[in-house]
Structure formats: C-alpha cells, structure tokens
Amino acid sequence: MVIAAHPDDMESWCSGTIARAIGSGLPTRLLLVTSGDAGSGKPEATRSSVAAVREEEARRAAELLGLTGVEFLRVPDGEVEDTRALRATIVSWIRRWQPRTVFTHDPEHPYPAYLSHRDHRITGRIVLDALQLARDRLAFPEHEGAGLLTHAASQVWLFSSEAADSLVDITATIDLKIEARLAHHSQTVDPEQLRDAWRQRARAIGAPAGFAFAEAFTLLTTS
C-alpha cells in the first residue's frame, strides 16, 4: 500500500520499486490524500478542474504500473492537517486493505531538508501514527461495526528521505517508472528533459551499491 500526498509523488519516489513488487505478484494499492488541485499556474485553472485532470492522470499512471486500485481522499492541496478525522480515515483504509508493507513520505528527515512540501511531512506523520492506531481495537471502534478489523503492517518504507538506509535496484523498471511519471502530463514541461534528469538521479542513487539505477528508502519494522 502506498499512501502519498499528491498525484505523481509515488511515481517520483517509489514507482520503480512498486513496479518490481507488482511484477513479482504482490498486489499494490495507492491512497492519495489530495488530488493535487493547487498544481497549476494557468490563469484559467480552478481547483476543481485541476483535480479532475490530475485524478485522471493518477489513474492512467496506476494502470501503467499495474496497481490494483487507487483512491482519493480529496483533502485540499496544501491544506493537509493532522486531525482526528484524517487519522480515522487513513486508519480505515489500512484496515480495509490490510497491507503487509506501507510506503509513505519520511516526516522526520524529509527531502529536500527544510524545503519539503508541508503536505508531504504531515502525510508521513499521520500515516505512521495511523499504522499504530490501526492495530488497536479500541482506536476508532466505529470501524469494527463497519466490518473493518484491526491490522498490523509489518514494515514501512519511507521515501523522499534524507536518512535513507536502503537501496532498491530498479534497473529493470526505470523505463516504466518514467513512463508512469510522464502520464502526469499537466506536471510535465519537457518530457525529454525529465527522462534525462530522472535517469541521472536514479543512476546517482544506485552508484554506491553498483546498481545502474536505484531508489532509496528508510525502512522501519513495525511489529
């Protein structure tokens, strides 16, 4: 299960690894906290029009990667807050999907340091708290009445992390990763420049381990 703040966050930081997991037979789902509805500088853009475009782009990228499903919480872009209501909602999706491993933003050592998007930091913090709460039957007991039982994920993989301690070889999936990112047409100025820049970044990440291309994570064991 991937829980990300915006459409294209997953593609940017962990889709090469997700593609590997799906290729090995592990079903994977994506939960997007916002629909990226502030992500346009066009004078004619509105929040609703941008959200509609970006949700469709996210669905297209999910289809390319082979995700089992993608859901949108539609919290306003740039306005994610650590509230009981949002924690309860994310706990409900964890209990519904019962993931073994969860991918999300690193809230404690985010990249880039000091300048990371607030939605990224807050989403990561909520998800880590929600994973703890999802295990406790008396946390949001109303879920039990809806048939959502407690769940304990075994690992969290934090992406966009300044403290990354693990690399995944994505040499076999780098092209798919880039194509999934390019599905977000509204966020792409120059596709060829993006291809080159992303290959360079993945190459630099993989170099210390001898991988042609890699993604980096901070791994946490939760149980």
pTM of the model: 0.97
Task: Give residue 223's pLDDT.
Answer: 65
Using the predicted structure, report yes or no on whether residue 63 has a pLDDT greater than 90. Answer: yes
Using the predicted structure, report yes or no on whether residue 182 has a pLDDT greater than 90. Answer: yes
CB-based contacts of 109, cutoff 8 Å, min separation 6: 161, 162, 163, 218
- 214-221 vs 155-159, strand pairing mode: antiparallel
Using the predicted structure, report yes or no on whether residue 113 has a pLDDT greater than 90. Answer: yes
State the average pLDDT over residues 54-75.
Answer: 98
Alpha helix segments (H runs only) across 24-159: 47-65, 84-97, 118-133, 142-145
State the average pLDDT over residues 202-222.
Answer: 97
pLDDT in tens, 151-181: 999 999 999 999 999 999 999 999 999 999 9
Task: Classify domain 2-221 at the CATH topology level.
Answer: Rossmann fold (3.40.50)
H-run or E-run covering 190: none
Domain boundaries, the chain: 2-221
State the average pLDDT over residues 144-152.
Answer: 96
- Which tokens sit at 214? 């890699």
